Amino acid sequence: MPRRIAFQGELGAYSHQACVEARPEHEPLPCPTFEDAIEAVRSGAADLGMIAVENSTYGRVADVHSLLPKSGLHIIDEAFVRVHVNLLGLPGATLAQVREAHGHPVILPQCASFLRANGITGVTRSDNARAAREVAEAADPALAALASELAAEIYGLDVLARHIEDHDNNTTRFLVMSAEADHSRRGDHGMITSFVFEVRNIPAALYKAMGGFATNGINMTKLESYMVGGSFTATQFYADIEGHPDDRGVALALEELAYFTTMIEILGVYPADPRRD
């Protein structure tokens, strides 16, 4: 049985592109939702999961960070994928014929300037690859999809306009998830440790909890908060730091963090993607 990697979306989605680039030896397994992709790994239907967590233009992917601690999975790698937005239309169609461009709500603002300049109305769809499939099925030259060149190949569409995103550094970060943890040192660009924690209910707890990272020279590249269970008083924090838990500075910082928290959970220890810089 071939090794599989699950992702949210349809074939041709940017998550599919991430799977092809980062794990070409795995068979991509499309899933309707992030929860379905996670469950595919938990159940053994897939060996790995490719989960989008943030985009350099749009920001973090809603709800994903709150899903990770409950998933029972471990981060074993990260992948940065350059997102090129393309206008895909029927074979033989021209840009002048296009009146509507269909795409995910995240991707529409990323090419707003192009759409406005060409008098094209953006139409929201649940998935970019699905938009490409629906445009192919509709057989209307006035309709186009905002998607990857991979989607164009899969659904037999022409690229009417290439790389139309407003920002030339548009990049999405993905996390590779596994049922088994791997804390071994690997890669040539250092290690990243991801974890979640809840602070104790004492004054300036977060400020004090962060002190250990500063005093031990540990670079924290991400710190985000989100509510737990819909409560305004129960808040978890998600953090990424540079380094391995066995590094002396990281160990001391985590030890100090533990004093000011009620919970710490390591989500993954993995090599930094060279494109992180």
Cα atoms in the 13 Å half-sphere on the side-chain side of 261: 23
261 catalytic, yes or no? no
H helices within the chain, ranges in order? 14-22, 34-43, 64-71, 112-117, 128-138, 149-155, 205-215, 248-259
pLDDT score, position 156? 97
Whether pLDDT at 234 is above 70: no
Q: Both 108 and 234 in a single domain?
A: no
pLDDT score, position 224? 87
Residue 183 lies in a domain: no
The whole domain housing 73 covers 4-83+170-178
Q: Both 61 and 174 in a single domain?
A: yes
User: Which two structure tokens, joined as six digits, stand for 215?
Assistant: 């005093």
Q: Both 174 and 41 in a single domain?
A: yes
CATH number at residue 41: 3.40.190.10
**From 172, 197, 213, 237, active-site residue:** 172
Contact 175, 53 (CB under 8 A): yes
Strand partners, 63: none
pLDDT interval class at 229 (50, 70, 90):
low
Whether pLDDT at 277 is above 80: no
The rounded distance, in Å, linking the Cα atoms of 97 and 94 is: 5
Residue position matching structure tokens 């993995």: 270
Whether pLDDT at 113 is above 70: yes
Whether the pTM exceeds 0.75: the reply is yes
Q: Which of 120-129, 173-182, 196-205 has the lowest mean pLDDT?
A: 196-205
Q: Both 16 and 117 in a single domain?
A: no
**From 7, 34, 80, 174, active-site residue:** 174
237 catalytic, yes or no? no
Residue 186 lies in a domain: no
pLDDT digits (tens, 9 = 90+) for 6-31: 999 899 999 999 999 999 999 999 99
The proportion of the chain whose per-residue pLDDT surpasses 90, expressed as a percent, equals 73
**233 or 162: whose pLDDT is higher?**
162
pLDDT score, position 183? 96
Q: Both 23 and 125 in a single domain?
A: no
Q: H or E element: which one contains 112?
A: helix 112-117
Q: Identity (one letter) of the amino acid at 85?
A: V
pLDDT score, position 35? 93
The rounded distance, in Å, linking the Cα atoms of 192 and 196 is: 14
pLDDT score, position 137? 96
pLDDT interval class at 62 (50, 70, 90):
low
pLDDT interval class at 34 (50, 70, 90):
very high
Last residue of a domain, one of 153, 178, 203: 178
pLDDT score, position 140? 96
Q: Both 93 and 149 in a single domain?
A: yes
Q: Both 195 and 272 in a single domain?
A: yes
At how many degrees (to 10) do helices 248-259 and 205-215 cross? 170
pLDDT score, position 17? 94
For residue 216, give the DSSP letter: T
pLDDT score, position 233? 60
Tell me the average pLDDT across 152-177: 93
Residue 270 lies in a domain: yes
Q: Both 72 and 174 in a single domain?
A: yes
Q: Both 77 and 118 in a single domain?
A: no
Q: Both 73 and 174 in a single domain?
A: yes
- Name 51's Cβ contacts closer than 8 Å, sequence gap at least 6: 7, 8, 34, 37, 38, 64, 68, 174, 175, 176, 177
Please state, as a whole number, how many other Cβ atoms lie within 10 Å of the Cβ of residue 81.
Answer: 24
pLDDT digits (tens, 9 = 90+) for 129-145: 999 999 999 999 999 99
Q: Both 259 and 129 in a single domain?
A: no
